[in-house]
Chain A
Amino acid sequence: MREMKNIHTAQVLRERAVQFLIYVAVLLISAVFIWILADLARGGIAHLSWEFLTESPRDAGRAGGIASILVSTLLILLVALLTAVPVAWTSAILLVEFVPADSPFGKTVRFSLHVLAGVPSIVFGLFGNAFFCIYLGLGFSILSGGLTLACMLLPILTSTAEAGLRAVPHAYRMSASALGMTHTAALVHLILPAAAPVLAAGLLLGIGRALAETAALLFTSGYVERMPDSLLDSGRALALHIFDLSMNVPGGDMPAYASALVLAGLLLCINITAMKFAHGLQRRKIMT
């Protein structure tokens, strides 16, 4: 009887300990996030103004704003996404829907993606410089930077999309086929909408990574802070601007903080919008 009671107490203690550890871990993560945001806000909010967002930088970024930087960043992002997303998602569809999971082809593609995902971004930068800037003659340009980023995003976009498509219940495919629907119809009407939230999450991860990228852009899109006239102009990305201000520009701390705050805010907004969008898409699919 006593033994039983002891075992019971031990179990309760163990449960409590596990719960405690889990809570501590969650608190730690939230604390790090809040700390970073608070630090950015503390350092940057005083410098932040409407002018900061709408004026181009002057005096190496110590004065003026970040308008041209924002435009360059968004253009680089746009080029990267427009190139990477179609390639990544169609590859994922091919891997999941048309190639047996254990075929040599599928294995090879998946292996290359894993390797690609592990390559440090500076290597992508060097590759981008050699291939896009020099070999293709695009020079230091937003186009070179965007295309280099696209190469970096391919593994992350493809693997998230693949995971999302695989998570769609096989029963949908079977029922659709049993109803005489073609594979394409099942894909368009059932599988892709069901995978949409995961696709959106992958897109977010990609955007986050692209916005934060510095090393790969240093050698490809360059760091000219002027407002770009075309995609073939060099343009400085926001993350690169922060890096330059805090490392190379004495007295650039305040604008660096403010730029970092803008970057964090941008990421937050993109996150929230994409979540809302994915949710809305799912709802709309159910409603029609």
Chain B
Amino acid sequence: MNSNQHTGKPDAFTLGPLEEGPACCDPQPVVQVRNLSLLYDGKIALDKVTLDIYKGCITALIGPSGCGKTSFLSAINRLTDLIPGCRVTGEIRVNNRDIHHPDTHVQRLRRQVGMVFQKPTPFPLSIRRNLSLPLNEHGISNKTEVAAITGQVLRDVGLWDEVHDRLDASALSLSGGQQQRLCIARALALKPQILLMDEPCSALDPLASGVVEDLIRRLRGRYTIVIVTHNLAQARRIANYAAFFWVSGRAGQLIEFGRCQHIFESPSHELTAAYINGVRG
């Protein structure tokens, strides 16, 4: 039952009904990764990855732990800059602009490329302040505008009905699933084009995980999403493209990349086949 039918309010979700990503038959690369290698203290962690991420699609990164999926993800918004001893070589272009170019404004890049972490990371502030703080930092401080964005993104993630009467309560009082949806809302508030998600469901219970998964599915087509997941069934349910990483020696490698259906139903590499059939990994 939709509660809005009783209250007569407009539809709670501004994202509209589920839409198939528009670009998946006509892929337009929005992130182009060329020969990306990642080193921690001189030891190679990710070896020469070349990959295109397509506009409006969900790309799932799958593979065993330690194969560099999360490192790959954090290289795209240059969060790797914050890791001591981490060095990145190769090229990443977002919207055809080299993100390692000296002219790149890293704060602007991260606004364009949002990120959601494995563990929900709400700030120890009120729900409202969690959303308004990053907006203020990006120069959006008009109260009406901030309130409008707050309402919109909370509706987008389906949190409005649950929290609209306690926006000033601490974000830490929310449940794990609600916290994660708040973090997604916080990322969406900055109107990013690309959303990086690092196992956003793995710290949640199955019900909350389902809610977040539905949410991610609804975001498809509006945002370009790159999601790391250990849940193969989830990757299969939500992703248009899948990239399979494997670790050989110490270094992670991209083994295979393609349409999700192709990876899961007729993988061209035997490692992929073994992994998705649960034989290895």
Chain A residues close to B by CB (< 8 Å): 100, 171-182, 185, 189-190, 193-194, 285-288
Contacts and interface: CB of A to CB of B under 8 A. Distances in A.
Interface stretch (B105-113, B155-163, B249-257): B105-113
B82 A177 contact: yes
Given A171-B117, A175-B183, A180 B123 contact: no
Given A174-B79, A178-B77, A286 B125 contact: yes
B82 A174 contact: yes
B44 interface: no
5 contacts: A179-B186, A180-B109, A181-B133, A286-B125, A288-B129
Contacts of A286: 124-126, 170
A284 to B, nearest CB: 11
A3 B137 CA distance: 67
A236 B40 CA distance: 58
B79 A177 contact: yes
Interface of B: 77, 79, 82, 84, 106-111, 114-115, 117, 119, 121, 123-126, 129, 133-134, 137-138, 168, 170, 183, 186-187, 190
Contacts of A285: 124-125
Nearest to B107: A180
A181 B124 contact: no
A180 B79 contact: no
Given A174-B82, A189-B133, A287-B168, A180 B190 contact: yes
A175 B121 contact: yes
Contacts of A171: 117, 119, 121
Contacts of B134: 176, 179-181
A178 B83 CA distance: 13
A154 B196 CA distance: 43
A190 B123 contact: yes
Q: Which residue of B107, B109, B114, B168 has the most chain A CB atoms within 10 A of its CB atom? A: B107
A288 B171 CA distance: 12
A178 B123 contact: no
A177 B129 CA distance: 16
B137 A182 contact: yes
Contacts of A179: 110-111, 114, 134, 137, 186-187, 190
Most A CB atoms within 10 A — which of B133, B170, B186?
B133
Contacts of B124: 172, 190, 193-194, 285-286
A178 B125 contact: no
A189 B109 CA distance: 21
Given A174-B79, A287-B168, 20 more contacts: A172-B124, A173-B82, A174-B82, A174-B121, A175-B117, A175-B123, A177-B82, A178-B77, A178-B187, A179-B111, A179-B186, A179-B187, A179-B190, A180-B190, A181-B107, A189-B133, A190-B123, A194-B124, A285-B125, A287-B126
A180 B137 CA distance: 8
Contacts of A178: 77, 79, 110, 114-115, 117, 187
Nearest to A175: B121
Contact of A180 (B84, B111, B129): B111
A172 B82 contact: no
A179 B119 CA distance: 16
A180 B126 contact: no
Nearest to B82: A177
Contacts of B82: 173-174, 177
Contact of B84 (A100, A185, A190): A100
A189 B119 CA distance: 21
Contacts of A194: 124
Interface centre among A181, A182, A193 (most CB of B within 10 A): A181
A177 B110 contact: yes
Most chain B beta-carbon contacts within 10 A, residue among A173, A179, A286? A179
Nearest to A101: B84
Nearest to A173: B82
B108 A180 contact: yes
A176 to B, nearest CB: 8
Contacts of A193: 124
B112 to A, nearest CB: 8
A247 B21 CA distance: 86
Nearest to B173: A286
Contacts of B115: 178
B110 A180 contact: yes
Contact of A174 (B106, B111, B117, B187): B117
A181 B117 CA distance: 16
Contacts of B170: 286
A172 B121 CA distance: 7
Contacts of A182: 107, 137
B126 A288 contact: yes
B265 to A, nearest CB: 34
